[in-house]
């Protein structure tokens, strides 16, 4: 190697070392400054911000606004009622025709049909057991009953009404 190459490497190494020290110093300074910043906004600053951005007033639309509010309340009530299966009806025949009949008409999954012979052993266990198996579901040698017939939107009253309807219509 030539003499001026060694001189260049020596100076270049010094520059790289100096840049490394400066970088390390900046990292330590940033770490120190980051530790001094409060971790969260104070409650009073948040309250002042909410006060600054709060609406200055409201709009009154008279009878039109009242009608819109009444319509919105009616829509909300209809939406809440639609969350209950079959409009909340407790007519067992409606629920049986729309849900239960799929299995209990043909005996799918060993489901008892509306023949009295299929129900005698079950009736002997008592109505409370029938209600419990219909609401919570049942898996056994006699078959499989999904909870609430597979429709979780059914209420317990609807399930009880359907069980009662099925028992009243045994042949």
Across 1-32, b (16+ Cβ under 10 Å) vs e yields eeeeeeeeeeeeeeeeeeeeeeeeeeeeeeee
pLDDT tens column, 140-166? 777 788 888 888 888 888 888 888 888
User: How many CA atoms does the CB half-sphere of 104 hold within 13 Å?
Assistant: 25
Q: Alpha-carbon Rg of the chain, whole angstroms?
A: 37
Alpha carbon distance 92, 159 (integer Å): 8
Mean pLDDT of 87-92: 77
User: How many CA atoms does the CB half-sphere of 10 hold within 13 Å?
Assistant: 7
pLDDT tens column, 32-80? 998 887 666 677 888 888 889 988 877 766 667 777 778 887 887 776 6
Alpha carbon distance 148, 136 (integer Å): 7
Mean pLDDT of 109-121: 83
Residue 126 or residue 82, greater confidence? 126
How does residue 12 score in pLDDT terms, banded at 50, 70 and 90?
very high
**Under DSSP, is residue 142 helix (H, G, I), strand (E, B) or coil?**
coil
Q: Express as a percent the part of the chain with pLDDT over 90.
A: 16
Alpha carbon distance 52, 75 (integer Å): 34
């Amino acid at each position: 190697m030539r003499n001026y190459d060694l001189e260049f490497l020596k100076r270049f190494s010094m520059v790289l070392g100096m840049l490394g020290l400066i970088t390390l110093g900046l990292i330590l300074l940033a770490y120190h400054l980051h530790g001094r910043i409060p971790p969260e906004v104070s409650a009073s600053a948040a309250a002042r911000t909410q006060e600054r951005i709060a609406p200055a007033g409201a709009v009154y639309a008279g009878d039109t606004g009242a009608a819109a509010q009444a319509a919105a309340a009616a829509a909300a009530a209809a939406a809440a009622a639609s969350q209950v299966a079959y409009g909340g009806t407790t007519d067992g025949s409606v629920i049986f025709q729309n849900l239960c009949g799929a299995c209990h008409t043909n005996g799918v999954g060993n489901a008892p049909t509306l023949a009295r012979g299929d129900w005698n052993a079950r009736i002997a266990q008592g109505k409370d057991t029938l209600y419990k198996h219909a609401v919570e579901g049942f898996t056994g040698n006699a078959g499989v009953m999904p909870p609430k017939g597979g429709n979780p939107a059914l209420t317990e009253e609807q399930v009880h009404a359907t069980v009662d309807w099925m028992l009243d219509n045994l042949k």
